[in-house]
Structures are given as structure tokens and as C-alpha cells.
Amino acid sequence: MATTSSSTKKVLELAGRKITLIGTAHVSAQSVEEVKTEIQSNPPQCAAIELDSARYESMANPEKYKDLDIIKVLKRGEALLILANLILSSFQKRMGQNIGVQPGDEMRAAIDAAQEKNIPFELVDRPIKTTLNRAWAKNSFWGKCKLLAALISSAFSKEEISEEEIESLKKENEMDSMMGELSEYLPKVKEVLIDERDRYLAAHIWECKNEYCDQAKSVTAILGAGHLPGVQRHLEAIAAGTETTDTEEISKVPPKGIGSKIIGWAIPALIVALIAAGFWFGGKKMGGQFVGSWIIWNGALAAIGTLIAAGHPLTILAAFLGAPITSLCPLVGVGLVTGIVQAFVKKPKVRDMESLSDDAATLKGFYSNRITRVLLVFVLSSLGSSIGTFAAGAAIVKELTAKIMSLFA
């Protein structure tokens, strides 16, 4: 086993095979040139690209978003997924604007260089939908809140990054520092976005084939620089026989645990029981007050969230009326109701489809684009309703406790 390495390139000799890992920054002009030069100067039998089929299709077909049906997205429960994807891609796009590089240009350059040399290429990354869904599913409630805060912060950040700062991201010490910060702030996100994908990438790089043999004898893999150490570690373990290339476990979204399902129904059941207790201990007056508290807290905060998202007045009304009901039924969320209402009263136009990726890069664009506004309405009305559920529950418990104590005093 032999290894030659630099900050952006690692050449591994493993089990009679040569695997070259090229680390890139995803909006780096220098990375674009590096991958082209590497593939043209040292043609491998196969090129491994850190893309999945969905991102490759988006790259090959930039007009893909024109076919987006926002109503179907809401019904499939993919609103948050689409929103996160838009925010992440727009953030990378803003980073590359100052140097004239688009996100994924280095991957596109690698594919173009491979095709020019008639070298087969394989897409070796895990589907982005699986990755984002796992990142969400594996986080606690508090972790989800922090993740949402990080996404919103990056969406509306106006920070500009210089070309020198982008290139520094490929240095191991800089990358180690960033990974350390991410691990401390969002350990589950780091586990899913980095650690799991290191393993997935390594397994699929190892499985790279060409038309002449089951395993290509020489492979050049184009990866984000942050994956180099982990992918190298996993490749060496696979070559040594201490690790397999089976990635089935990390290729699916973990099902909701029984605890989550119980909580999903337990909270509405508890609210109903508390309101019933109000009627029992305080009569119609207290029971009516509890019903009023539930409606006001839940409906008002959902409506405020919709208002912050610049929802249509009818959508705000739908949030106020729908939240107290949907909060008692885990099968339907108020976000689905408000999102569909917003999409009907402010139907997205062709222009919104055409400018979606550009509009998602600015705060003004987020609010002017009818598609992203539907997504904002979905998220913020849902958030408002969730806060309202706990606020109303706390208010009801406080009043009920005081009433019971006065009866037994």
C-alpha cells in the first residue's frame, strides 16, 4: 500500500489499483483547471464524480425547475427538502459570483474532460434527497431548530467571500477547523453530510468499472476537499478487507421510531384531555376559555408566521382557521393547507419557474418569486403553529393547575 499526497491530491496504490483523489472547492476557478489538467494529463480508466443522478440531471438540464409542480411537492411532503436544496445551491452560487464560477463547474469540467478522452465516468455520490432527509430525520427537535436557523442564516447572508478565502478551504488545517465547528454545532448533520458520505463515496469509487474489467485499475475521483481524509481512510479499510462496500444501511431514510409516532399522537391527545379537564373542573366557562386559548395561540402564531412569509390575506385566514384543527391531527399539517391556498391564490407563473434559482439567492427574490414564497408560507406557518401548540398547552396547564389547587385548598 503506497500513498502520495498533497493538500488537494492523494494518489493511492491499493490492491494493485491506482486511485487518485482530487480535492476541490465547489466554486473554485483553480479547481476547474486542476481537474481538467489531471484527467487530460493522466487519463484514468474511469472517472468518479461526486454527483448523484438528480444533481447531474440538473446540471445537464438547467431548465429542470420549469417543470416543478409546487402543489405536488407539498402533497409529497417535500417542501422543506426543496427549500433546503434551493438555499444550499443559491449559497454556493453567491460564493462563486465574484470569480465567475458556478457551483459544480469543476464536476462539469471533469465530465467534459473524460468525455473528450473517451473515458467512462460514474456518479458516486448518494442521492441528495436521501442525504437531506437523513440529516433531518436523525436530528432531535433542538437539532432541527438549529438546522433551520443555519439554513435561514445562509439564505439571507450578504457575506462576500474572496477567491483567496475559497482556495483556502482546500487546505487541511482550514477544513479540519470547519469540520470541528460543524461537529460541535450540528453533530448529526456532520455525521450525515460528511462521515456517511465519506463511506458511501469510498465504496462507490472502489466499485468503479470500465468496459474491459469489473474493476477499473486506475480511477480518478473528483471530490470536495473535505471528503479526502475520510474517503482515503475508507478506501484503505476496503482494500485491507476490514470494511465492505455495502452501503444499504446509509442509503435509506431511517423510519420514524415508535417514540416519535407516540409523541405525534400523544400531544394532541393531551391537549384534548386538558380542555376536557377544564370543562370538568371549571364548567363551561373554563372549558370555553381553554378552547379560546387553543384557537388564539395556535391560530394567531400560525397566521403571524404566514404574514412574515408575505402570504396572501386568504392564506393568513386559512392559517388562523386551520392551525387549531390540524395541530390536533398529526396526519395533516397547517403548512400543507396554507401552502396549497397560497399556490391557488397566487399561482406561480412561467417567470417564477425560469428565475427560481436566481431568485433564491437573494432575500428580495425569495419574497418576489411565487414558488419560494409558497415554500416560506409552508415553513413559517408550520413553525408558528408548533410554537402555538406549546404556548397554548402551557397556558392551559397553568390555569388548570391553579383551578385544581383552589378546589382542594
pLDDT tier for residue 261 given thresholds of 50, 70 and 90: low
Instruction: Note the pLDDT of residue 313.
Output: 94
Nearest CA among 268, 265, 362, 367 for reference residue 309: 367
> What predicted TM-score, i.e. pTM, was given to this entire model?
0.74
Which tens digit of pLDDT belongs to each residue from 207-239?
Answer: 987 665 677 889 999 998 888 999 999 999 999
Give percent of the chain above pLDDT 70.
79
For residue 276, what are the CA distances in angstroms to 205, 280, 284, 289, 380? 60, 6, 10, 11, 30
* Residue 106 burial (C-beta neighbours within 10 Å; 0-12, 13-18, 19+): buried
Strand partners, 4: 11
Give 205's pLDDT tier (boundaries 50, 70, 90).
Answer: very high
Spell out the SS3 assignment of 229-256.
Answer: HHHHHHHHHHHHCCCCCCCHHHHCCCCC
Task: Return the pLDDT at 296.
Answer: 92
- Dig out the grid coordinates for 83 from the structure: 427549500
At 99 the pLDDT is 47
Residues 6 or more apart whose CB falls under 8 angstroms from that of 385 comprise 298, 301, 302, 305, 319, 323, 326, 327, 333, 334, 335
> How far is 222 from 339, CA to CA, in rounded Å?
39
- Average pLDDT on 359-370 reads 79
Q: What value does the mean pLDDT take over residues 345-355?
A: 78
Q: Where residue 76 falls among pLDDT bands split at 50, 70, 90?
A: confident
pLDDT at 209: 78
**How many C-alpha atoms does 257 have within 13 Å on its Cβ side?**
7
Task: Tell me the mean pLDDT in the region 161-167.
Answer: 51
Is the pLDDT at 123 greater than 50, yes or no?
Answer: yes
218-222, 352-356, 368-372, 382-386: which has the minimum mean pLDDT? 352-356
Output the pLDDT for position 153.
67
* pLDDT tens digits, one per residue of 274-315: 888 888 888 888 888 989 999 999 999 999 999 999 999 999
**Distance in angstroms (rounded) separating the CA atoms of residues 179 and 158:** 22
- Between CA 45 and CA 54, with CA 48 as vertex, the angle to 5 degrees is 140
- The larger pLDDT score, comparing residue 174 to residue 336, is at 336
- Can you tell me the mean pLDDT for 106-110? 87
Mean pLDDT score across all residues of the chain: 81
Least confident segment among 115-124, 134-143, 169-178, 397-406: 169-178
Query: Please, where are the H alpha helices in 2-41?
Result: 29-41
Place of cell 465519506: 198
pLDDT score of 135: 83
Q: pLDDT, tens digit, for every residue of 166-201?
A: 445 545 544 445 555 556 667 888 888 889 999 999
Phi-psi domain of 298 (left: phi exceeds 0; alpha: psi -120 through 50; beta: other): alpha
Q: Is the alpha carbon torsion for 109, 114, 115, 121 positive or negative?
A: negative
Is the confidence at residue 316, as pLDDT, over 90? yes
